[in-house]
Chains A and B, each alone.
Chain A
């Protein structure tokens, strides 16, 4: 039961995990692993992006629980996503059953957090040297607002937590567990937390911090990281401490630090996009909800790439990766991706899932009395059963659903718009890859989908109805996309 421990640090971490979850929902295969354990590190408890991602993860986990035994590899939702406490087997009484590390709501200012007033005079002087008065005065409720120096201090406290202990306890090298860190290099939380976490997890004995169980395993385990360079701007604002004019400066500073001090990472992925969209300048909190960006989706690809390398390939290595689009298109379509890697990972899976979502919205209401629906007892279950409610949430929730996610991707800059959104015409689903129709062959229409579903409805083998549902639709969507939509 190989696990991937995914540390998503800061806003960017949450957003990449959001894209990754969508891809896992679509059935993209994550090699060498069957369970993903996301641990989001973000002291800003009300961060909009983080909360969105957490809701999404909770919905996915809830949905996935109804699918035991696991769907086949390649089917929708086949990868499991569990909280740390769910996979923990020993000594996990203190670990909260959540995807987020609970910082315990730090309400105080940085100055009070440091117990500035109780410091000896020398330490106070040192602190004054390192931190601006604004830094010291700023409340920590909303993260570190682009100040890695603040972040690094606070995050150190993380290391003593029950969560990290539980993580180390349940890290099983023999199963093939791995660790991956996702962070931005130009922010506050991510930039600070990533090297900190890496150092403390990889070399707990050397970091001077808490000792951890399984230290040897942790030292040799495959670990990877994604560091996202600037890909958006914020509008200038006097009230906010964040200024995107300084993103590049901060990036350079962090990179020079990584060059000398980032040790122990087997694979490091860098991502950047010179095209920049300006967001509202929100320091943090519930209003920090940036629309999903294509970069985050590519960031998720880094995770798949990392997992695709075998343990042997990563052992003792320090590999560096960058990403390049095949065609510098705006908006990005499937055709803009490189055909042998990115297209293979994204193209079919996303199309299948989008076809699935479109059918459930436009086609299912009219086919509730078809054979497949009756066989799965959908008329009774669709509205009330837990699984289907979770599914509908996952697909349509305006905050974190799949369809809004695609819309955000399509309206962002650089946009990712491979699909014709909102339309019920299945033949035009993928831009540039229209399904051929003829006199006798109408392409993909509700009737043909319904018939394929009817045909396969009696051949599913799963033991639970949600499992049958997923198996059936995965199969039919796969067959339909593979046979009718050319160009992948």
Chain B
């Protein structure tokens, strides 16, 4: 189910993966893997760090909207890094196990697509972070009204 969901999400913005020989690799492991870890590990993790760790367990002055925006940026960055490294490692592993290496057109197609992928994942990471913000903010002491008061 997640495979389909994330595959549709990514392909809606990126199109089918390139080079086309890597389509199964992307659709079966990269999209769901990166999608899930961006959604749960990175975005939720960052949201928890911001709302619960920094603004409930610890006493910091990081409750302002500007700090939250900084975290959105950090999440986008982390998502981009995650996307790139995960795609790279999975594709490399898959190619190594069949003893193949990408050349020429395939290599540049791969580079182009991976670049798009990390940009799109940065965007998704930021959006997921915003989503989790609204879920998690009620658990915060000092940031429950960041960035807006609703729904508290």
The answer to A–B direct touch (Cβ < 8 A) is yes
A450 to B62, CA, bound (A): 12
Q: Is A153 an interface residue (CB 8 A)?
A: no
Q: What residues of B have a CB within 8 angstroms of the CB of A451 in the complex?
A: 59, 141-142
Say whether A447 contacts B143, CB under 8 Å.
no
Say whether A448 contacts B144, CB under 8 Å.
no
- Residue count of chain A within 8 Å CB distance of chain B: 13
Interface stretch of the complex, out of A114-122, A286-294, A366-374, A467-475: A366-374
Q: Is B8 an interface residue (CB 8 A)?
A: no
Say whether B145 contacts A371, CB under 8 Å.
yes
Q: List A residues 439-480 near B (Cβ within 8 Å).
A: 446-448, 450-451, 454-455, 458
Q: List B residues 31-80 near A (Cβ within 8 Å).
A: 59-61, 63-65
A454 to B61, CA, bound (A): 12
Say whether B145 contacts A450, CB under 8 Å.
no
Q: Looking at chain B's contact residues, is the secondary structure mostly helix, strand, loop, or mixed?
A: loop
A417 to B73, CA, bound (A): 50
What's the nearest-Cβ distance from chain B to residue A429, in Å? 19
Q: Is A375 an interface residue (CB 8 A)?
A: yes
Across the interface, name the chain A residue whose C-beta is closest to B65.
A369
Q: Looking at chain A's contact residues, is the secondary structure mostly helix, strand, loop, or mixed?
A: helix
A454 to B60, CA, bound (A): 12
Q: Which residue of B59, B65, B143 is within 8 Å of A371 (Cβ)?
A: B143
Say whether A450 contacts B149, CB under 8 Å.
no
Across the interface, name the chain B residue whose C-beta is closest to A441.
B59
Say whether B65 contacts A450, CB under 8 Å.
no
Most central of A374, A375, A454 by chain B CB within 10 Å: A454
Say whether A454 contacts B144, CB under 8 Å.
yes
Q: Which residue of A369, A446, A454 is within 8 Å of B64 (Cβ)?
A: A369
Q: Is B152 an interface residue (CB 8 A)?
A: yes
What's the nearest-Cβ distance from chain B to residue A71, in Å? 24
A370 to B141, CA, bound (A): 10
**What residues of chain B have their CB less than 8 Å away from a CB belonging to chain A?**
59-61, 63-65, 140-146, 149, 152
Q: Given A447-B59, A455-B142, 9 other A-B contacts at CB below 8 A?
A: A369-B63, A370-B63, A371-B144, A371-B152, A447-B60, A450-B61, A450-B63, A451-B141, A451-B142
9 tightest Cβ-Cβ pairs between the two chains A and B: A374-B145, A454-B142, A371-B145, A455-B141, A454-B141, A451-B59, A371-B144, A447-B59, A447-B61
**What residues of chain A have their CB less than 8 Å away from a CB belonging to chain B?**
369-371, 374-375, 446-448, 450-451, 454-455, 458
